[in-house]
Amino acid sequence: MIQPPLRIVLAKIGFDGHDRGLRMVARMLRDAGCEVIYLGLRQTTENVVAVVEQEDADAVGLSMHNAQHLTLAPRMVAALRNADLEVPVILGGVIPDQDVAPLMDAGVAVILGPGSSAEKVVSAVRTAVASRS
What is the per-residue pLDDT across 30-73, written as a single tens digit (0 to 9) for each? 999 999 999 989 999 999 999 999 999 999 999 987 778 999 99
33: DSSP letter: T
Domain borders along the chain are 7-132
Q: Note the pLDDT tens digit of each residue in 83-109.
A: 999 999 999 998 999 999 999 999 999
Identify the CATH homologous superfamily for domain 7-132: Cobalamin-binding domain (3.40.50.280)
pTM for the complete prediction?
0.94
d(CA 67, CA 59): 22
Question: Which residues make Cβ contacts (< 8 Å) with residue 108, sequence separation at least 6?
Answer: 73, 74, 77, 89, 90, 91
The answer to whether residue 1 scores a pLDDT higher than 70 is no
| Cross-strand pairs, 11 | 40, 62
d(CA 71, CA 56): 25
* Greatest Cα-to-Cα distance within the chain, rounded to the nearest angstrom: 43
- Alpha-carbon distance values, 63 to 2, 3, 102, 118, 133 (Å): 30, 27, 17, 15, 24
d(CA 102, CA 85): 21
C-beta separation of 103 from 69 below 8 A: yes
